[in-house]
Every structure is written in structure tokens, then in C-alpha cells.
Structure 1
Amino acid sequence: MTHIVRDGIELSEEQVEFVALARDFAEREIRPRAREVDEADTQSPLDLWARAASIGLSAYMLPTEYGGGGVTDLVTQCLVQQELCYGDIGIGNFLTSSAFFAGPVEALGDEEQKKRWLTPLTGNNPPVTSVAVTEPGVGSDSASLKTRAVREGDDYVLNGQKTWISNAPYAQWIIVFATVDASLRSKGITAFLVERDMPGVSVGQPMQKMGQRGIVNAEVFLDNVRVPVENRLGEEGKGFYGLMRTFDASRILIGAGATGLSRAALDATIKYASEREQFGKPIIEHQAVAFRIADMAAKTDVSHLVTMRAARLFDQGEFVAVESAIAKLTASENTTWVTNAALQTHGGWGYSREFLVEKWLRDAKLEEIEEGTSDIQRLIISRAVQRR
């Protein structure tokens, strides 16, 4: 038996159950903690991480052969991500961060490596993990990484500095992307599994951020870190492929998270506008407000549709660099617009901490920046258009 969601995608009962589980967890556990976690500023909610793990929400997307929930299709992952980020986008991104770590392992790792590093993610007390790509002088141009990996016998020696690394203060394992030869650009990029307690690994202080404070970022320093050859994921120079495949999926998931945030802002605005009266009637009956809410609804729906299109194509094995760029660009810029419109409709109350809308606007902006800025997404799309 299948169930039909509103845009015509058929889901199994198991898939529907995972989405319902995420919706319930977001309502009961995530949303009530949103303000508290935001004000804590540089602390991730590790207790929520543990509770999410105990019911399978942190590992539902991992293959069953490694103990995961086996919901490996991106369509369902997007629907789950929407629900979690409807509760709070920073917390939602933190709770599913194992998927970002697992991406390069699945794309590049051999069977022994997958068992070694994926299986522990599916337990009741999984390690927190990170992926380290960005550097102080290298953002969206991942082919120009400066972190070096030099082969010395059965080890590689890593030297470099990574920045804006999600989960870094808590991570036990970090996938570090480095170059074995900077002159080769993308063909020199190689992935390594670095353990936090390896000599020479250090982590800076948590960064104080504008929004999405539920997921903590910090710098990672690598000073002559010796990494065994068996911790290399894939062959030398193959890391860029794994990174780009991971980004294709993660940018679509960013679109899903941004859509969840837009839904939260839309629903809160409809509720507020229906209850708040001005000039003798609810403000939702004033044309300017009604039209603004209509635009909010339209932009939220467009975000959902382009994200789900990209997810369907990804699941079919298609090359989706352009579709993932469209999903991320559209959903991220739409959520900034929608959360700003929500604050505008709430007026002075929206600007205060009485409501979550001011936080949501701060949270939304990151979606236009992380994992390739909006400018980079436009560049990907424009190049594809020019080739037609």
C-alpha cells in the first residue's frame, strides 16, 4: 500500500512513518528548545542528539547492512529534514549531520571502511562527526585547497587549517579533504579519516554566529598529523568526486531544511495575522497582509517542489549538479524572503524576542552562504544554460 503526498510522490508506509516520527519529534522535543539553544550560543544540544539517536532519527538514512534505518532515498530524507527543520533548522541540521559525514565514506570507502566508520553511527550513543573542507582562504572553490597530505611510508602527514567546521568541538572523527599536489587542483584532492585524538589535531574556540546556533562551528588545526594509509578514503586524487557527490545531496537537503523553515514562518504568520486586530478586523483581512502571506505561501511551495524534483532525479542516479544548485538557490533565498516577511507582518513584536521570527530570519541567512554561496549556485546554473 502506498500513500500520496501532495506533489504526487508515492511513499511506502515505512517512509510515511519516518516522516511522522520526525514531525512528532520536532513538535515535542525540538521546537520547545529552540529559544534556549539559540541563547546558549556556542553549545549544541547533546541531550537531543542522544534522544534522536535512541529512536533512530540520527541514523535512519544509513544502509541497513551497517545497522541504519535503510531509508537511503533522498526523497524521504528531504521530507524528514523538512519536518526536523520546521521545529528548528539549526537543531535539525545538527541531528542529521551523520548523513554529511557518511556521504564521502559511502562514495569513496571500501567495505571494511564502511563497516568501521558507519556502523558506530547507528548505535544508541553514536559519535559526533565532522567534514572539514573550508579553509581561511578557500570557500566555495574546493579545488584550491591548501591543506597538504604528504605520503611517508605507511602514513600520510597532514598540515593545514580548516575553518567553519560544523560539530568540530564535539567530533570524534573528522573527514579531512587535503591535496597531495596543489598544482593538480581537483585531481589532487584526497579524503582522510582523522581521529580527534591523533597527535597534532587541535580545535579552536566555538565561533559566535548570527544564527543556527544549535550546530556549533570551529576551526580545526592539523600540525604534522600522521594518518595511516588505511584511513585514506578511496585513491589519491579521488576525493573531489566524493565531495561533489556529497554536495549534490547535501545542497538538496539544504533546500529541504530551508523549506521547513519557510513553512514554520508561514504557519506562525497565518496564526498571528488571524488573531491580531487592527482597524477593527484581523490583519489577515487587510489586502497588503493577505497578499504578503500569499507570496510567502507561493515561495514556500516553489521551494518544496524544486527540492523534491532534484531529490527524485538524484535517486534515479542522474547527474544533478544543476538541479541541486537550483534547489539550494531557490529555497535558501526564498526562506530569507519568507522569514523577513514574517517579521514584517509581526511588526514590533516580530523584532522582539517575544516570537521566534527574529531568530528565524537570522537562521535563514546561513542557507544562502553554506556549501556554496548563492553566487556559486548561479554560476553553476548559468554555465549549464550557456551550454544548451
Structure 2
Amino acid sequence: MTVQAEPWPLTEEQRDIVALCRQFARDEIRPRARAVDEADVVTPVDVWKKAAKVGITDFMLPAEVGGGGFTDVFTQCLVQRELCFGDPGIGNLLCSNGFFADPVLALGTADQHARWLTPLVGPDAPMTALATTEPGVGSDAASIRTSATKVDGGYRLNGQKAWISNAGAAAYYVVFATTDPALRSRGVTAFLVEADSDGLTFGEPMRKMGQRAIVCREIYFDDVFVPVAHRLGEEGDGFRALMRTFDISRVVLGAASVGAAQAAYEYARDYARQRIQFDKPIIEHQAVAFRLADMAARIEAAWLLVLHAARVIDTGAEATGLAAIAKLTASETAMFCAWAAVQTLGGWGYSREYPVEQWMRDAKLEEIEEGTSDIMRLVISRNLP
């Protein structure tokens, strides 16, 4: 990645983690990206283990549980951009334990933090997952139908989740279920579930357009018993924690989009400098130069929005609308830049010989996950200043 000055000063620790991730993206992620994409439904465990060994998979966990201590969203965005410059799917995979940790930190007790987060630290860190989406429930999390029925000593979970990242590979899950569908958001409750729980099963890997490093499956709950000690917060607290998690994840995924957009831009720029057409490099043709200018401008604007939203969240202020603005802008920037890179390379951009066609497939997910662009516009319209 072309190194530019950040709009805010970084601490020495932040500069160190950024440098580590930049090198890891160059040396370990980018060389594996095409093979992982071709493998389609195979999690790149080898890259995960290398990242865990150098502290990338747990950098976002609190120091109190042995993690890297970068619990602020701002630093998480710095890291996410670097890793996703190497490859969006692998980069998002390596930071996925942060999405599991958010509701645990928001609702969990000190004992739950120690029990569920401490094992995620170190070179043998397992993967985790956040189970929210259902076949008939996407962004409308208040309409969750997976049920949590109270029984002696805990709850029984019944239902189905879909499109769950790391399902089947994860050791631990935060599962959002409802104690009463009629209550909608006031019934949504979060539970911690272990992968070997009786009655918990998984579907086959789902074949996806892009970001294939993250394998998704359906999850089935058939009378899965969850002790009351594995409930996060009180009954009905789950929706509030989930909305907070969405604010954070949307901003962090915005940073992922910026990393992907930057990769596409730099590849197209370097190609345009070398490709000769009509006796001169195509970067000297106005149409190509203006397209690259648009890419650069959109990336810079998206990055400033992402970092601004991260700073606001880190102050503890409400940031739902701002997080949606950052995610919408960054994800559509990634898609535009991936398209523009393919366009700049022409027929070669359409070939699997070059990475830009994969990045175009990868970028599309950023306009869908954690709320589609349509949903982001709806959220923004409801949170206008």
C-alpha cells in the first residue's frame, strides 16, 4: 500500500500495529489470495495461524484478558484497512473475533469476559462467530424467530440461522434469539453457545460470489440447551447490544472497503503507467487519468468519513447515522474502484489472470453485509442531523 500521512496523529503503538499488518498483508495475505478464492469453500487456516502467532487475531481484545488492548474502533479501522488491502476476504476473516467480542464486552460480566475471551488470545486462538441472520430475517433484527424457551437452569434454543460467517469452523458463537416474538426488539436476547453443544448442527458451505476466505453455513438449533450463566445481560438486552455491534462493525467494514478500494486504485494506476496505447501510456489519456482521479478522490473522502465515525464511537456518543454514512460511502467507493480498475485494464481486467476481477466480486459483499446500501440509506434518513 502507498503510505500516506494519517489525518490524525498516531501513537507509537498504533504505528507499530499498522506496520505489522502492512507487512503481513504484503508477505502472507496477497500471495495466498488467488488460491483461497479458487478453493471457494475452504477456510485458509494456515493464514489464520500465522496471524494468530503475531497477534493480529487478538489485537482488538482487552489487555485484561491477554489481548492486544486496541479496543478502540479507530485503531481497528487502521488495521482493517491494511489487511484488506492484501485481500478483503482474508482481512475480514482475521479480524472476525472482534465482532464476537463486541456483544460479550457490552453485556458480559467480568467472569464471562475471562471465560469466553481469554481463550481467543495467543497462537492457538480459535475462530468465533456471530449468529444473527435467519432465512427470513436480514437487517430487521427485531423480527428474529430463533426461540429461546426458559427451562430449569437455562434455555432451549430452536430455529435456524443463515449466512453465518465461520459457522462450522468456530469454537464459540454469540447467538441472538427471542424469548417472545411478539415483543420484537424487547425479546431479543444474546447467548453464548459452544460448537459441540448437543442439537447444534451445520449446513453445507454456501457457494459465494466473493470473499470466499470466510466460509458461511446455515446453523440449526434443535433443543440446544444453554445454561443461564451463558446468557449475556438480561432477557431483552440483546437488541441494544446488537445495534451497538452494528454501529462498530459497519465502520470497521467501511475501513475494509477503503483497503479494497486502495488496492484496486494502486493496481489500476500502476497498470496505466505501463500500458502503451496510441504511442503513449494510457495514464496520459484524459479518460483514464480522470477515472483514476475519481478513484483517488472517493477513497480519500471515504477514509476521512470512516475515521471520523470511529472517533465519534470511541467518545461514547451515539453514531448510528454516521456509521451508516461511513459504511455506505466506503462500500460504494470500493465497488466503484473495483469496477474502475477492471475498466482500466480492459479485457485483461475481465481475466482471472489479474486480481481486479476478484476484487470486483469481493467488493460487492461490502454493499450487502451488515446492512445493504438500501438499508444504510434508510438508517441515514431516520437519523438525519
Give CA deviations for 1:261-295 in whole Å, capped at 9, x if unaligned: 00000000010000000000000000000000000
Using the alignment, how far apart are the partners of 2:5 and 2:374 within structure 1? 31
Hey, what's the Cα distance between the residues in 1 that align with 2:52 and 2:334?
28
Paired-residue identity, % = 58
**SS in structure 1 at match of 2:261:** helix
Residues 231-277 of structure 1 show CA distances to partners (whole Å, capped at 9, x for unaligned) of 10110000011111111110000100000000000000010000000
Give the aligned partner of residue 131 of structure 2: 132
Task: Determine the C-alpha separation between the residues in 2 that align with 1:60 and 1:106.
Answer: 15
- Unaligned runs of at least 5 residues, structure 2: none
Q: Residue 380 of structure 2 corresponds to which residue in structure 1?
A: 381
For residues 347 and 270 of structure 2, the distance between their equivalents in structure 1, rounded to whole angstroms, comes to: 16
Alignment match, 2:333? 334
C-alpha separation between the residues in 1 aligned to 2:212 and 2:244?
A: 27
1:146 maps to 2:145:
yes
CA distance in 2, matches of 1:80, 1:196: 28
Superposition pairs for residues 1-388 of structure 1, below 5 Å? 6-385=5-384, 388=385
Residue 10 of structure 1: SS of its match in structure 2? coil
Q: What secondary structure does 2:170 align onto?
A: coil
**Aligned counterparts of 2:327 and 2:280: Cα–Cα separation in 1:** 38
Three-state SS of the structure 2 residue aligned to 1:220 is strand
Secondary structure of the corresponding residue to residue 248 of structure 2: helix
Say which SS state the counterpart of residue 215 (structure 1) adopts: coil
Matches of 1:10 and 1:344 in 2, distance apart? 36
Q: TM-score, normalised by structure 1?
A: 0.97
Separation in 1, partners of 2:23, 2:10: 18
Tell me the SS of whatever aligns to 1:173: strand
Cα deviations by residue, 1:19-58 (Å, 9 ceiling, x for unpaired)? 0000000000000001000000001110111110111000
1:95-153 Cα distance to aligned partner (Å, 9 max, x none): 11010000010001001000000001112101111110000000000000000000001
Amino acid at match of 2:205: P
Q: Which moved more, 1:8-17 or 1:351-360?
A: 8-17
Structure 2 residue identity aligned to 1:321: T
Q: With structure 2 as the length reference, what TM-score do the two structures score?
A: 0.98
Question: Which secondary structure state, in structure 2, belongs to the residue aligned with residue 359 of structure 1?
Answer: helix
Question: 1:181 & 1:345 partners in 2: Cα distance?
Answer: 53
The question of whether the paired residues in 2 share the 8 Å contact of 1:198 and 1:225 is answered with: yes
CA contact (8 A) 2:197 2:224 kept: yes
The AA in structure 1 aligned to 2:138 is G
Tell me, in whole angstroms, the C-alpha distance in 2 between the residues paired with 1:156 and 1:71.
34
Deviation, 1:7, is: 4.6
| Secondary structure of 1:164's aligned partner | strand
- Matches of 1:320 and 1:6, distance apart in 2: 26
Q: Residues 7 and 305 of structure 1 are in contact (CA less than 8 Å); yes or no, is this contact kept in structure 2?
A: no
Q: Distance in 2 between matches of 1:130 and 1:28?
A: 27
Runs of 4+ with >4 A deviation: none
Whether the 8 Å contact between 2:168 and 2:195 is mirrored in structure 1 is no
3-state SS of 2:236 partner: coil
Once residues 382 and 197 of structure 2 are traced to their aligned partners in structure 1, the CA distance between those partners, rounded to angstroms, is: 42
8 Å Cα contact 2:176/2:189 also seen in 1: yes
What amino acid maps onto 2:157 in structure 1?
Answer: L
SS of corresponding position for 2:14: helix
Q: CA deviation at 1:5?
A: 7.0
Contact 2:275 2:282 in 1 (8 A): yes
TM-fit CA distance, 1:8 = 2.9
Structure 2 CA distance for aligned equivalents of residues 128 and 338 of structure 1: 31
**Do 1:5 and 1:11's aligned partners in 2 also have CA atoms closer than 8 Å?**
no
| Cα-Cα RMSD | 1.0
Amino acid at match of 2:215: V
SS at match of 2:219: strand
Q: Aligned equivalents of 1:258 and 1:140: distance in 2?
A: 19
Cα distance, 1:6 vs. partner?
A: 3.2
SS in 2 for 1:6: coil
Secondary structure of the corresponding residue to residue 235 of structure 2: coil
Consecutive unaligned residues of structure 1, counting only runs of 5 or more, are none
Letter in 2 for 1:347: G
- Equivalents in 2 of 1:8, 1:132: separation in Å? 35
CA distance in 1, matches of 2:171, 2:158: 19
What is the identity, as a one-letter code, of the residue corresponding to 2:249? S
Determine the C-alpha separation between the residues in 2 that align with 1:137 and 1:353. Answer: 34
CA distance in 2: counterparts of 1:335 and 1:65, whole angstroms: 36
Paired residues in the alignment total 383
- Per-residue deviation, residues 164-206 of structure 1 (Å, max 9, x unmatched): 0000020111111000011111010000111111110001000
